[in-house]
Chains A and B, each alone.
Chain A
Amino acid sequence: MKTPCEVNRSNRKRSPDAPGLRLGAAQVRSLRVRTVAGLVLGVLLVGATACEKPESPAARHAQDPEALKRGKSLFVGTCGAYCHGLQPGHRDAPYLFDCDWKHGGRDEEIFRTIRAGVPNTRMQAFADRMPEGDDDLWKIVAFIRSRSDCS
């Protein structure tokens, strides 16, 4: 069995969008130096943060049918209406069940995105908006995970 850490990493099909920049030669050299340093740092950070907490509250909710049911009803009620569809296809907002994440695919990142929203988009912050607060957001994360097809 995979650890939650491994599950989360394998769920990530591609990296988040990096800002698209066209760089001059000097910057490319500069980039190379900084990239190596960044690589080291990035790996260190990944190791430190991704595996620090073996289980998110979503992983716990994933074992609880009642929690998943509530997560689904919350999703259907607010997220899934006209924005994020339950089926793939053209919708007004990204399809969330294909493990292809724009703002990070770890439980904590999904939670944070729902909580804080996405600036300059119609994705608003849902911190303190659900009847049972953060716990409801974790149930939504658990429901998304339970329904996701990462193949």
Chain B
Amino acid sequence: MIRWHGWIAWALMAGLAAPLGCSPDSGTKDRTAGGPASDANATGSATGTATEAPTMVEMLDELPPLPTHWIADPPVAAGAPPVDDAMLRDPFADRSRWLHYVGDHRGHRHSPITSLTKKNVAKLQVVWAMPTGTQQQFEVSPIVYGGVMYVSTSYNRILALDVKTGAILWRYDHPLPADMKPCCGPVNRGVSIAGDTILMATLDARLLALDRRSGAILWNTEIFDYAKGYSATSAPFVYASAAGTLAVVGVAGGEYGIRGFFDAYDVATGKRVWRHFTIPTAGEPGIETWAGKSYETGGAPAWTQGAYDAETDTLFWTTGNPAPDFNGDERAGDNLYSNALLAVDAKTGARKWHFQFTPHDVWDYDGNTQIYLVEVELDGKKIPAIAQANRNGYFYLIDRRDGKFLRATQYVEQMNWATIGADGRPVLNAGVAPTEEPDQRVCPGNMGGMNGAWSGSYDPARQLSFIPTIEACQHFMKGIAVYSEGAPFMAGTPDTIDAAAGKAYGHVSAVDVATGEIRWRAKERFPLMAGAVSTAGGLVFTGNLEGEALALDADTGEVLWRFRMGGGVRSQPIVFELGGRPYLAIGSGSWATTDAFLAGLDRIPEGGHLFVFALPES
């Protein structure tokens, strides 16, 4: 019997019984499963001997596991003090630093440096570069502190690099399960820093703390069971409140029918301080906005970053689409608090108010693009507000004291899904809902507009917001909604007709936040999917899908500098100064799937690379 078993196995291996299909284990990487070869050897085949050369499977079994963690010993940057609350509140007091994904608590991504000017920016040159060693999109916003640059890559790898030379100081590769549940690629957008701690949220929905000096793991906590469709992709948002120094991280999973939430963790201990669910449960206000039990699998993820107002101790956070994405039949109602801006008590997570951008969304218009805390004058009155270029194509201004809608203006060039009423509620145009055989071209497409996967920036002196934008309209195809735990729960699919026809394009748009008008647009051949950073020197940095780093004139949009990095740009650039010398760091490396999906561009190879530029030493 055993002999026969071996023969069957060999027949399978030789591919001769191919129509029978692979055994469940074939083509997998499960080294512990007894493969056909080892089975035959163990039982002694007709010609087998004990001295046969080991099979590749056996040889792989004998290899030591690949290292995944390189600690810095002795520790690095030990002379730099812990990152304290004052530094987190005023991150640009020392311009050698970049401490927050969104630049500062106001979310501006705007640096006060003036050493980089419209005149000298074209002299930027590469000082060092570093491969990530991973494929798919490289969306990082690096952190710079104490002479070290902390970079996360796709697949949750962290590299700690000497900021001047690029030399590697420590490295951590997070082990990820094969059945993890990312929405859209194995992405991570950055780490955060507080005290002596580097924090990273992972694709398997964990939050990790590592010692910034050595890379040693300090704590590692589960946010939620990843197998149920949860993941985390953003840098945690760090601030000091009366409850201690907290790291806030929200979950992704709007495509898996999760129940969204964002959590605050004590940076010192890793203990969760509060959790804020973005969907009410039975008996809570807002539950009436979900038909039947649809709230149980309603999505509303919280996968991006927020903003913090220390004056009122308020944390502002935003949420994504209701689930399933493209078929709302079973979730009649507004579906609170999907696609919304939420104001919560920063100490307790208790909700103060909300504003919903896209009620009962069926286009995947996640309401969680970057938010900016701004001061605007409207009708002669100064108003503390929140500005956002929403994925639905409108640029919103919301009163940040009470969530009152102030204004929405169109920032995309192509718009036909809705107009916005005086109360801030969209008024839908006819024929824009998904159907089984769609023939209506709907703008913007499901990715925006702008998308939460990248940041814009806001220059408070110019009152301009710089928005890297997609123009790629779509057909929205509806399917049957079947919830199956851990499986995509989208009930439809967008058909990117513009990309397929070569009509998708992009631009950086400068929105005057005081008026909502477009000051300028810098057009690009392909949709823009990288972040932006602006400087007091009047520059805006971003990158395009063709692989170029770009510097634009903040006043006119004129491109002042281009550098071909190679891979499509999906990262969030940062700027800083070392000894008065200005530096720019920007990642290159995209994901052919999204490039093809949105831009009809799939010829650029994948692979991340970080580039660091500086002006020549004078």
A-side interface residues toward B, CB under 8 Å?
8-9, 12, 15-24, 26-27, 29-31, 33-35, 37-39, 41-43, 45-46, 49-50, 69-70, 72-78, 80-83, 85-87, 89-92, 102-104, 106, 109, 112-113, 116, 118-122, 124, 126, 129-131
Contacts and interface: CB of A to CB of B under 8 A. Distances in A.
B120 interface: no
A130 B484 CA distance: 8
28 contacts: A12-B19, A16-B22, A17-B22, A19-B27, A21-B57, A30-B47, A30-B52, A33-B46, A34-B11, A34-B40, A38-B8, A39-B11, A41-B7, A41-B17, A43-B16, A76-B493, A77-B490, A78-B479, A80-B479, A89-B596, A89-B597, A89-B602, A102-B22, A104-B19, A112-B21, A118-B27, A120-B178, A122-B181
B443 to A, nearest CB: 20
Contacts of B489: 78
A89 B56 CA distance: 32
B343 interface: no
When A and B form their complex, which 9 residue pairs have the shortest distance between CB atoms, in order from nearest?
A104-B21, A38-B11, A77-B479, A24-B53, A76-B479, A42-B17, A81-B490, A15-B18, A129-B484
B45 to A, nearest CB: 6
B16 A42 contact: yes
B491 interface: yes
Given A17-B27, A82-B488, A90-B602, A46 B17 contact: yes
Nearest to B483: A129
A80 B325 CA distance: 13
Contact of A29 (B12, B47, B184, B500): B47
B56 A76 contact: no
Interface string B452-480: 00000000000000000000000001111
Contacts of A106: 19, 21
A126 B56 contact: no
Given A24-B53, A30-B48, A129-B487, A103 B482 contact: no
Contact of A77 (B6, B179, B181, B481): B481
Contacts of A23: 53, 55
A109 to B, nearest CB: 4
B318 interface: no
Interface stretch (B28-36, B307-315, B554-562): B28-36
A15 B30 contact: no
B190 interface: no
A45 B17 contact: yes
A34 B10 CA distance: 6
B18 A12 contact: yes
B480 A26 contact: no
B25 interface: yes
A103 B47 contact: no
B85 interface: no
A20 B56 contact: yes
Contact of B15 (A18, A76, A122): A18
Contacts of A18: 12-15, 26
Contacts of A43: 16-17
A109 B26 CA distance: 14
Nearest to B7: A37
A69 B479 CA distance: 10
Contacts of B527: none
A106 B19 CA distance: 7
A140 to B, nearest CB: 11
A51 B135 CA distance: 43
Interface in B148-192: 178-181, 183-185
B595 interface: yes
A33 B46 CA distance: 9
B24 interface: yes
Most chain A CB within a 10 A radius of its CB, from B21, B593, B596: B21
Most chain B CB within a 10 A radius of its CB, from A12, A22, A30, A34: A34
A30 B324 CA distance: 54
A69 B435 CA distance: 13
Nearest to B481: A77
A39 B16 contact: yes
Given A16-B21, A19-B57, A81-B325, A38 B484 contact: no
A119 B183 CA distance: 19
Nearest to A44: B17
Given A18-B15, A46-B19, A73 B10 contact: no
Given A19-B26, A81-B490, A90 B7 contact: no
Nearest to B26: A19
B255 interface: yes
Contacts of A109: 21
B482 A130 contact: yes
Contacts of A37: 7, 10-11
A27 B53 contact: yes
Given A19-B26, A26-B52, A124-B487, A90 B596 contact: yes
A119 B25 contact: yes
A45 B181 CA distance: 38
Nearest to A24: B53
B493 A86 contact: yes
A13 to B, nearest CB: 11
Given A16-B21, A102-B22, A21 B53 contact: no
Contacts of A92: 184-185, 593
B218 interface: no
A72 B491 CA distance: 11
Interface in B32-81: 35-37, 40, 45-49, 51-53, 55-57
Contact of B21 (A9, A75, A86, A103): A103
B84 interface: no
A18 B20 CA distance: 13
Given A74-B479, A77-B480, A41 B22 contact: no
A26 to B, nearest CB: 5
Contacts of A73: 436, 478-480
B508 interface: no
B48 A50 contact: no
Contact of B595 (A38, A42, A90, A112): A90
B294 interface: no
A106 B25 CA distance: 18
B491 A77 contact: yes
B14 A35 contact: yes
Interface string B359-395: 0000000000000000000000000000000000000
Nearest to A5: B19
A133 to B, nearest CB: 11
A90 B603 CA distance: 10
A9 B81 CA distance: 69
A118 B180 CA distance: 13
A76 to B, nearest CB: 3
Given A19-B35, A34-B45, A82 B179 contact: no
